[in-house]
Amino acid sequence: MLNKEKLKNKITNKTVGALSVRNTCENDPIAPTQKNKGITLIALIITIIVMLILVGVTINVALNGGLFTSARKGTYQTQASIIKEQLEVEKATMVANNNGDEPSDYGIGTIENLDISQDLKDKFGSKLTISAKGTLYYTDVVTDNQEQSWLEEIGIEGEPTQLTSYTFTIGELLAKTEPVGGGFFIPFNDFWPENVSEELKNSHKFNDRLGGEMYHNVACSEDSFIDLANYENDPSGVPFSYAMLLVDGNIAFVVMDESGNAMDLDTYREYSDVSFTVSIS
């Protein structure tokens, strides 16, 4: 039989051992403690702060580095290029339908008449215009310098200021065509630069003005030669006069000597640097 004293000692040792095991577990770093929970919360806060700093830096770089501006620019230029390319397609079609000859007036007018989406028409309808000769310009509605530069980068220039007077030389006329029967015959719209005003184009009388050594009377009508009949009595005493008139859709330009005879080709060449100015009466 077991001794009562020995049994008591065994029970006491087992109890102490169990308590010892329990205390060891309480000191185990793997076991969750309040201290460990605090460290985890601080780490989380630090992580959030770092992330916020990184987000702030990213946004700052995007703004200052022009990321959003570059994106807007790319979209804007792509849309404007679509309009420009479609214009060229339709111009090429018109030339092909005109036996390969470029018309003096394409007659397109505005981008509203192009085969493009309604969204593009709404966005650029007031900003872009098409000249008689088929050149795409931006209008004075586009006042933002950045927007102007975007358009200019893809070859769309600002609409030229409308001229109310136009100066040309005999040499410039010779570059367009040689005189026939003593006069130049140039299609109406080919004679004028693109930015001359419609008012000047359609004027029937022009002011007398000369940037050279020849006096002139100018009239854009078929009775021009009658107007020139009295040129000999002009007090300037210069023995030349010229006439501009409309003949079958052409501007006829003729320079005459003191006898009323039209200049020949050699004489035109001799006076190629003489300039003339027409303006609205």
Q: What is the predicted pLDDT for the residue at 25?
A: 44
- 145-153 helix and 67-97 helix, angle to the nearest 10 degrees: 50
Q: What is the predicted pLDDT for the residue at 228?
A: 40
Top pLDDT among 233 and 126 is at 126
pLDDT at residue 217 tops 60: no
Q: Is 71 helix (H, G, I), strand (E, B) or coil?
A: helix
Q: What is the predicted pLDDT for the residue at 34?
A: 52
Which is it for strands 136-138 and 157-158: parallel, antiparallel or unpaired? parallel
Q: Is 107 helix (H, G, I), strand (E, B) or coil?
A: coil
pLDDT at residue 169 tops 60: yes
- Of 133-142, 146-155, 206-215, give the lowest mean pLDDT range: 206-215
What gap in Å lies between CA 224 and CA 235, rounded to an integer? Answer: 20
Top pLDDT among 179 and 62 is at 179
pLDDT at residue 123 tops 50: yes
Read off the pLDDT of each residue in 28-44 and give the average, rounded to a whole number: 61
Alpha helices in 65-165 (DSSP H): 67-97, 118-124, 145-153
Q: What is the predicted pLDDT for the residue at 65?
A: 57
Q: What is the predicted pLDDT for the residue at 19?
A: 41
Q: Are 128 and 86 in contact (CB under 8 A)?
A: no
Q: What is the predicted pLDDT for the residue at 155?
A: 94
> What is the pTM assigned to this prediction?
0.54
